[in-house]
Structure 1
Amino acid sequence: MTTLGVVFRPQQPPERLREVVRAAEDCGLQELWLWEDCFLEGGIATAAAALAWSERLRVGVGVLPVPLRNVAITAMELATLERMFPGRGIWGVGHGVQDWMGQVGERVASPITLLREYLETLRALLAGQRITVQGRYVQLDEVALDWPPATAPPILAAATGPRTLALVGAAADGVILTSSTPADGIRSAAEIVRAARPEAAAAQPYPIVVYLLAATGAGAADRVAAELRAERRDTIPGIGVAGDARAIADAVIAWTEAGATSVVLQPTGDEPDPVGFVRFAAEQVRPLLP
């Protein structure tokens, strides 16, 4: 079964989040995703609010940039949310956009080394372990959570290049791919992450979350094209879709057939009706999916 989600873009003001969450809960959307993009909205703050304003909705954060966050702080915050809202959070971490990391003085020489150390440490802390780490970037001295979650949540990680994909396949519980990933890119990524899985873990389906830029209604095609041009992604074929529910459902199905286990519709940054888009995804697109 295809899991369908929608991103609440942080280009929307944070005070609009509550109405989007309520709409997502009311219409049965499977997943609402949030971003921690510099310098827009915080991922933990928005996730906490979204979880508190809903009862059933799953809320994903994709992703928390690891150079910005001490791993102990991330573990504390995720553990707190997991204890208050068990099993409803979907947590992703990643390198972060390197230019943004440079702007705040947190760009590292080896993002892959940092991500590896971070994933290993974060997962150990959430599993309730007391650990000492003397890594290149992560250093802890006899640290353990006083309030670990009853069940350690899966930790996903963002990846694009083959080296990071291989790392994520080996060290994380799932991968998050950007909306710049075409169908062939999804297939290639799936091959890399699955090849990197330990033999015992490889028997289980490996979560592959993919964002899909999408728009519907008046001016939809123009908005998608304008965003792709502005981000210099208009030369990548097939990474945006505009049209009615059937057109968008067909694109979701194509992404699923390429290997995605969860497709998250990414409205354009200037989406005029984020509440309506959530309802459109849940009530019109979702029934057309396998």
Structure 2
Amino acid sequence: MVEHHQVGIVFGSLTPPEDLPAGAALAEELGFGELWFSEDCFFTGGMSGLTQLLSSTSRIPAGLGLASAMTRHPAVLAMELAGIARLYPGRTRATIGLGNRHWLEQMGLLPDRPLSTVVETVDVVRRLLAGDAVDTETRQHRFRDIRLSFPPAVPPELWVGAVNARALARAGAVADGVLLSVLSSPAYVRWATSLVAKGAREADRPRPRVTAFALAAIDDDAGRALDAVRDAVGFFVGAEAQTALVTRSPLAEEIARHLSADPDAAGGVRPADHWVRELAVTGDPGTVTARIDELLDAGADSVGLWLFPPQDLGEVMRRLAREIGRVH
């Protein structure tokens, strides 16, 4: 049986900024275990979003998922996180990763060695948050005797957002937690967490906590639940078709055949019902509960639900709290 702290709520690109405070407060009131803010370009900034989640709640941990290693200089990222962590000690998490390649290409910020850039950014941000002076050069950034004037007494947890094999193993070696993207099927979560554990073992440290994001809809009408997330699943399938999120799923060959027959579908597809069932959390309360159980049994420590339809966020959260015997 899943404990309440294993279910979180993801806010982000589909939530207007002015609705974040009420949504966060409701999620805490209903007993959900954690909050996440997903910074998607070009919707709502991650730092302002994370701050709104924390300022509107009193106990629940809140995380940024994720800050791109390229869109902010690590010294600026550390400075911003230090201020948030000083205001909300012990409740702040920040995930660092590469970010969406298309958005980085739009901004001319795609690095030559993405994984090295992420790992180096985590190291520098952690040192700065600890109060150390940093005087070094990484592959992407230069630091000349930089030290934070107000490092936090309780540094925020630094997580890594990882998708593919090498990144997952490195995350296991260096991160306080690992964030898995939407489209994380049980098969993918099992594979990903095994790599995180392998990286942790090789670094002689405990396996970090793993949270899997999931597109989710709950409705007595299973077809209506599928339709609520279908477009989002289709968008991410098109965007992630070449990554392990798709290639390590049971649908890999079928999706590859579909995309090869229709090259234009890489910008988004209309997924069949069984695709949505495999790559999202949808259905009636019993089915949603069982699906979350599958992700947890596969190795995730918690599941962050990105709820649909977004215009009914409060109602959907209340229904989850009322009907699924896992929160409140």
- TM-score, normalised on structure 2? 0.81
Return the offset for 1:25: 2.5
Query: Equivalent residue for 1:275?
Result: 314
Q: How does 1:26-37 map to 2 (within 5 A)?
A: 26-37=29-40
Confirm or deny that 1:166 pairs with 2:169: yes
Give the direction of change, closer, same or farther, for the CA distance of 1:236–1:188 in structure 2 (3 Å limit). farther
Query: Equivalent residue for 1:260?
Result: 300
Give the direction of change, closer, same or farther, for the CA distance of 1:200–1:94 in structure 2 (3 Å limit). closer
Which blocks of at least 5 consecutive residues in structure 1 are unaligned? none
The alignment-based identity, stated in percent, is 30
CA deviation string 1:25-59 (max 9, x = no partner): 22222212111100000110011122112212221
Q: How does 1:1-290 map to 2 (within 5 A)?
A: 1=3, 3-197=6-200, 202=205, 204-217=206-219, 219-232=224-237, 234=271, 235=275, 238-268=278-308, 270-285=309-324, 287-288=325-326
Return the offset for 1:201: 5.0
Return the offset for 1:272: 2.9
Give the direction of change, closer, same or farther, for the CA distance of 1:205–1:163 in structure 2 (3 Å limit). closer
Provide the secondary structure at the position in 2 that maps to 1:222: helix
The answer to whether the 8 A contact 1:29-1:278 is kept is no
CA deviation string 1:3-28 (max 9, x = no partner): 11011232221111122122112222
Give the direction of change, closer, same or farther, for the CA distance of 1:124–1:282 in structure 2 (3 Å limit). farther
Rounded to whole Å, the distance in 2 between the matches of 1:196 and 1:29 is: 30
Rounded to whole Å, the distance in 1 between the matches of 2:136 and 2:170 is: 19
CA deviation string 1:221-250 (max 9, x = no partner): 212233323443645861212223222111
Return the offset for 1:151: 2.2
The answer to whether the 8 A contact 2:196-2:207 is kept is no
Give the direction of change, closer, same or farther, for the CA distance of 1:142–1:31 in structure 2 (3 Å limit). same
Which blocks of at least 5 consecutive residues in structure 2 are unaligned? 239-270
Rounded to whole Å, the distance in 1 between the matches of 2:208 and 2:74 is: 24
| Bigger Cα displacement from structure 2, 161-170 vs 275-284 | 275-284
Give the direction of change, closer, same or farther, for the CA distance of 1:153–1:9 in structure 2 (3 Å limit). closer
Rounded to whole Å, the distance in 2 between the matches of 1:229 and 1:107 is: 24
Please tell me the residue identity of whatever aligns with 1:211.
F
Please tell me the residue identity of whatever aligns with 1:66.
A
CA RMSD of aligned residues (A): 2.0
The answer to whether the 8 A contact 1:210-1:263 is kept is yes
The answer to whether the 8 A contact 1:214-1:265 is kept is yes
- TM-score, normalised on structure 1? 0.91
The answer to whether the 8 A contact 2:92-2:157 is kept is no
CA deviation string 1:156-184 (max 9, x = no partner): 11111111112211221221111222111
Rounded to whole Å, the distance in 1 between the matches of 2:56 and 2:131 is: 28
